[in-house]
Chain A
Amino acid sequence: MALAGRTAMRWARLRSPCPAAAPLCRPAWLPAACERRYSCPGKEKLDMSSYPVESIRNFSIIAHVDHGKSTLADRLLEITGTISKTDRNKQVLDKLQVERERGITVKAQSASLFYNHEGINYLLNLIDTPGHVDFSYEVSRSLSACQGVILVVDANEGIQAQTVANFYLAFEAQLSIIPVINKIDLKNADPERVEKQIEKLFDIPTDECVRISAKQGTNVEKVLQKVIEKIPPPQCNTADPLKALVFDSTFDHYRGVIANIALFGGEIAKGHKIVSAHTKKRYEVNEVGILTPNEQPTHKLYAGQVGYLIAGMKEVTEAQIGDTLFLYKQPVEPLPGFKSAKPMVFAGMYPIDQTEYNNLKSALERLTLNDSSVTVHRDSSLALGAGWRLGFLGLLHMEVFNQRLEQEYNMSVILTAPTVPYKAVLSSAKLIKEYGKEQITIINPAQFPDKLSVSEYLEPTVLGTIVTPHEYIGKIIALCQDRRAVQKDMLYIDENRVMLKYLFPLNEIVVDFYDALKCLSSGYASFDYEDAGYQAAELIKMDILLNGNPVEELATITHNDKAYATGKLLCERLKEAIPRQLFEIAIQAAIGKKIIARETLKAYRKNVVAKCYGGDITRRMKLLKRQAEGKRLMRKIGNVEVPRDAFIRILKRETDK
């Protein structure tokens, strides 16, 4: 979600069986996706002791998508001599194809910059953050390694939903904020208006904003100076015992897990024995270093510094984001805020062709090596065969994961429409005993407990932020109401832009909300959301019947208010998807015994090819035999034959409208 601008391109790419999907199709000058380069073995190890805490600044750049975060990062790397200055430096820190295409950051990449200001050598650690609140936990961990942020806002588009979300993350982390207005070279740039928005919404005086053009390099130097002046150095001491925050990790097939760390105290070097506060496992450090942005080994890392560590960890789950590392036998109080990733959106994933199952399985395994936040459970469907139920942090996470499967592993899959984890508070003593708890999470409609044994159903909610030109307010409010959302806030951020905050049931936005919003605002409204806990909801289980027989894979959990509309839509789509048969088929949506919607598929009255003589029989036989062969793959519901294709068309996520 919250992907502006590049959406059209991205769907065009997603739909085409594009050759660019092959992992090897990248410009030769780019580092290989997902893999870090080896550091040059002959190179001298750097001595980091010459950078005391006072000369260190740790910061992030945060921005709405496409506002120029990665371009600014490129310029900062160039100015500080971290990378050479060429025309080809575009999104240097975004290494994945999906990142470049979507203009987002999925995997954070960090870089240490050396910069001399007024005679002092500074070490500036640019800690990249994933660009979306789907990854808000990662963002908050990355931010916890920083003392300040550069908040980039497009001079033309002004504050967008993600700008707001990102600002609050930084604000709540009590970081220094340097507002930067980018793209002032654009024809329609209106930096004054944006400065006023920033003042109104974030309470930052207009004269604190730095106007830049990252593309042309205008005023970028000034941003670096602000970083040094306004962001405080980290508050920590090398004399303290080691305390290191893991804020990211990647997996390298040859060297195992590479953890990105920020030192909150002490020092670390090869040979040190360390312990993970979360897993309590012990490791010996093999290598430490800084990222420039490729790995550059150093003798040591000292308090306040940011870098990487390799210590024989075999799986990314051993270096969980937010974990604290300390020296063996010198335990410290772990850094606050650690939690395990919690999936918010679930979807079934099946190979298009069952013979591809093993290939897909190994691709999934390899991809989850680098993304431990995806949960994977084996699942199978009578219609779609063997597959998995995957849990994602959010919608963008799901899309990115799917796109990476396609691009990096050349896998095409059936991804079913996403569902959300509901909960039920049980009232039946028998069920409570059976589950061993009073509150259960329901991922699969088959597990939906009957109303009689439940005191209350709960659904997940999110707090959504929408920023829009004011002329679309009416339509957007109507859309939100239709999605059962409750307005929490409405604020004019300038004369013609409005920020709306709504509490949404998560399931109302997982399917097509973003497309609908973009469509009715001609693409101008932006949207972002954050987790807002569970709320009580009148949930029901709806069955789909074919000539009276329920179709297991089409059962859905829905809100009472939405049952009719959902049922009607499903019946209509099924009518389109099931081929006519020799008898009439009643397609019904039912809640318990009550039928709430019905479509009728009429029987075939004529289906016989007109001309069949000697000439055309070969082609005809091929078609008939394929149909006969297809009988094997038909799912029979009572006497109704439903092709696998029909299930795919119904269950598959609609990616565009």
Chain B
Amino acid sequence: LCPQWPYCRKRCSYCNFNTYVVPAVDEAAVRACLVREALTLLRLSQVHSVTSVFFGGGTPSLASPRTVAAVLEAVAGATQLPAGAEVTLEANPSSTSTSHLAGFRAAGVNRLSIGVQSLDDAELRLLGREHTAEEAQKAVEAARGLFPGRTSIDLLFGLPGQSRDAWAQRLEAALGLCDDHISLYQLTLERGTALAAQVRGGALPAPPPDLLADMYQTARTVLVAAGFRHYEVSNFARKGALSTHNLSYWRSDQYIGVGPGAHGRFVPRGEGGCSREARVQTLEPVAWMREVQSQGHGTRSRVVLSPLEQLEELLTLGLRTDEGITHEHWEHFSPQLSLQDVFGAPGEARALQQQGWLLLDGGGLRCTWAGLAVLDSLLPDLLWQLQRR
């Protein structure tokens, strides 16, 4: 289950998510709607148990613990929410006082993902973040105290003007600070963001592709040497602290999106459906609330995914992980046509294997170390081969 809190105090210069900066949020109303929509969709999906909950956004740490508690109580009341289920909350260093975090823990949150982004004040200003490096550090320390072994930090690399050395320093500082999970994202200059406009206008330099490749390789090497498992393109964990929730996306499990602009993938068994659907909730919070109030949910679009489309998603997402797609998992989605049938035959996948980008063996289909860095160049070939079957 992925409830969305769509509000932020300020929009960051690189962000193109569905977020809203409003002077005052009617939290009670939003809360009621999140709860109502969660209940409606859980009933529709008829899932027996919820394995993880991820409060995303927006900036969900701006919400009050009461809201988080209300959603979790509703879930537990409607279906099973096992005691050990992972409940993550995304948090910004600027809204993570120890008491606030303790409130979330009391509400049922047991994992925190902190948007540190950088440990350099100049870089944080460039990104339009509200916090300083010192505040970020304090926030992580406070979080680790409350969620030991279950605190993750996000870092960005490839900022305009960032040098290889600067990145190596940030990485080192992050290693000194972090817990057992790090997400490292290459900054994507999304269309329509302030930062992208500055780069396009020439006010800021575009990072050269080779430098980005070097930064990524540096990070992988450093983190693996520090005992982390590189378990997904941008995610690293040690001591088994993988994010269960995010893994479920990459494994194409069912998930239910709740809140403005939330995405979901599930079979609506409650209304007799038997096909997996791609669903998107209404983007704009006020419109979404109106819909939830009048009909119990704000589903704006639902599209049935064909078996081929499901396999395409499985391939695209599964290859992002270090374990790739196992034979069993593939068979779950494609009982007739095995991985070997599709990709073992002469064709693109075999050529990519020979070139050292891909592996197909007893474990399944996955990227090599080098292949993972260029996955987006492999996928069109693989999808094309899949479509021909």
Smallest CB-CB separation from A629: which chain B residue?
Answer: B384
For B263, what are the chain A residues with a Cβ–Cβ distance below 8 Å?
Answer: 614-618
> How far is B280's CA from A612's CA once the two chains are assembled, in angstroms?
16
Known pairs A605-B213, A610-B233 / 15 extra A-B pairs, C-beta < 8 Å: A581-B377, A582-B378, A607-B373, A610-B185, A611-B185, A612-B250, A614-B255, A615-B56, A617-B313, A617-B316, A618-B263, A621-B316, A624-B383, A627-B379, A629-B384
CB pair A614 B383 closer than 8 Å: no
Least CB distance from A432 to B in Å reads 48
B221 to chain A, nearest CB (A): 14
Cα A602 to Cα B208 in complex, Å, equals: 13
User: Does A631 lie within 8 Å of B380, measured CB to CB?
Assistant: yes
* Min C-beta distance of B381 to chain A, whole Å: 7
| A624 close to B186 (CB less than 8 A) | no
Q: Is B312 an interface residue (CB 8 A)?
A: yes
Interface hub of B250, B255, B265, B376 (most chain A Cβ within 10 A) = B376
B binding-site residues for A, Cβ under 8 Å: 2, 56, 185-188, 209-210, 212-213, 216, 233-234, 246, 249-250, 255, 257, 261-265, 278, 280, 309, 312-313, 316-317, 320, 355, 357, 372-381, 383-384, 387
Q: Is the CB of B249 within 8 A of A606?
A: no
Could you tell me the distance between the alpha carbons of A625 and B309 in the complex, rounded to whole angstroms? 10
Contact in complex: B379, A606 (CB < 8 Å): no
Choice from B234, B246, B380 contacting A628 with Cβ under 8 Å: B380
Q: A594 at interface (Cβ–Cβ under 8 A)?
A: no
Chain A residue with minimal CB distance to B265?
A614
Contact for B373 among A608, A611, A614, CB less than 8 A: A608
Q: Nearest-CB distance from A529 to chain B (Å)?
A: 41
Shortest distance between the CB of B317 and any CB in chain A (Å): 7
Give the residues in chain A near B377, CB-CB below 8 Å.
Answer: 581-582, 604, 607
Q: Mark A213-238, 1 if CB is under 8 A from B, else 0.
A: 00000000000000000000000000
> Which residues of B are found within 8 Å of A621, using beta-carbon distances?
309, 312-313, 316
A429 in the interface, Cβ–Cβ < 8 Å? Answer: no
A605 in contact with B373 (CB, 8 Å): yes
Instruction: Determine the distance from Cα of A608 to Cα of B210 in the docked complex, in whole angstroms.
Output: 13
Contact yes or no, A611 B210, CB < 8 A? no
- Complex interface: chain B residues within 8 A of A612 (CB): 233, 249-250, 316-317, 320
Do the beta carbons of A614 and B384 come within 8 Å of each other? no
B278 touches A618 (CB 8 A): yes
Closest A residue to B382 using CB positions: A628
Measured in the bound complex, the distance between the Cα atoms of B378 and A627 in whole Å is 11
A452 at the interface (CB under 8 A from B): no
Task: Write out, one digit per residue, whether chain A residues 617-636 have a CB within 8 A of any chain B CB (1) or not (0).
Answer: 11011001101111110000
Taking a contact as CB atoms under 8 Å apart, the answer to whether B186 and A610 are in contact is yes
A608 touches B312 (CB 8 A): no
Contact residue among B209, B375, B380 (Cβ-Cβ distance under 8 Å from A608): B375
A435 interface hit (Cβ, 8 Å): no
- In the complex, what distance in Å separates the CA atom of A444 from the CA atom of B323? 54
Partner of A611, one of B209, B234, B374, B387: B234
A607 to B209, CA, bound (A): 9
Cα distance A604–B380 in the bound complex, in angstroms: 15
Chain A residues whose CB sits within 8 angstroms of the CB of B320 once the complex forms: 608, 612
A contact residues around B246 at 8 Å (CB): 613
Q: Which residues of A contact B (CB under 8 A)?
A: 580-583, 602, 604-618, 620-621, 624-625, 627-632
With beta carbons under 8 angstroms apart, the residue of B187, B249, B380, B381 that contacts A613 is B249
- CB–CB A606/B373 < 8 A: yes
Given contacts A608-B376, A610-B186, A624-B316, contact A631 B381 (CB under 8 A): yes
User: What would 22 A/B residue contacts be, using CB atoms closer than 8 Å?
Assistant: A604-B209, A605-B210, A605-B374, A606-B216, A609-B188, A609-B376, A610-B233, A610-B234, A611-B185, A611-B188, A614-B255, A614-B257, A615-B261, A616-B263, A621-B309, A621-B316, A624-B380, A625-B312, A627-B383, A628-B379, A628-B380, A631-B380
Tell me the bound Cα distance from A625 to B263 in angstroms.
20
Complex alpha-carbon distance, A631 and B317, angstroms: 20
Q: Is the CB of A608 within 8 A of B374?
A: yes
Taken together as a complex, chains A and B put the C-alpha atoms of A618 and B265 apart, in Å, by: 11
CB-based contact A582/B278 at 8 Å: no
Bound-state CA distance A629–B385 (Å) is 10
Check if B374 sits within 8 Å of A610, measured CB to CB. no
How far in angstroms is the closest Cβ of chain B from A501? 45
Q: What is the CB-to-nearest-CB distance from B86 to chain A, in angstroms, rounded to a whole number?
A: 14
Question: Chain B residue with minimal CB distance to A579?
Answer: B377
User: Distance in Å from the Cβ of A582 to the closest Cβ of chain B?
Assistant: 6
Task: With both chains docked as a complex, state the minimum distance between the C-beta of A634 and any C-beta of chain B, in angstroms.
Answer: 10
B2 to chain A minimum Cβ distance, whole angstroms, is 6
- C-alpha spacing A614/B245, complex, angstroms: 10
Pair A628/B383 contact, Cβ less than 8 Å: yes
Among B213, B261, B280, B374, the most chain A Cβ lie within 10 Å of the Cβ of B374
Smallest CB–CB gap between B233 and chain A, Å? 5
Determine the distance from Cα of A627 to Cα of B375 in the docked complex, in whole angstroms: 13
Leading 10 A-B pairs by shortest Cβ distance: A605-B213, A628-B383, A606-B213, A627-B380, A610-B185, A628-B384, A608-B375, A610-B186, A631-B384, A628-B380
Residues in B with CB closer than 8 Å to A620 are: 316
Residues of A within 8 A of B264 (CB): 614
> A629 vs B246: C-alpha distance in the bound complex, in angstroms?
29
Q: List the B residue with the shortest CB-CB distance to A624.
A: B379
Contacting residues, chain A, for B257 (C-beta < 8 A): 614-615
**A573 vs B309: C-alpha distance when bound (angstroms):** 37
Report whether B355 and A606 are in contact in the complex, using a CB–CB cutoff of 8 Å.
no
- Determine the residue in chain A with the shortest Cβ distance to B210: A605
Q: Which residues of A contact B185 (CB under 8 A)?
A: 610-611
**Residues of the A chain whose Cβ atoms lie less than 8 Å from the Cβ of B378:** 582
Separation of A608 and B262 alpha carbons in the complex (Å):
24
Give the nearest-CB partner of A609 in chain B: B376
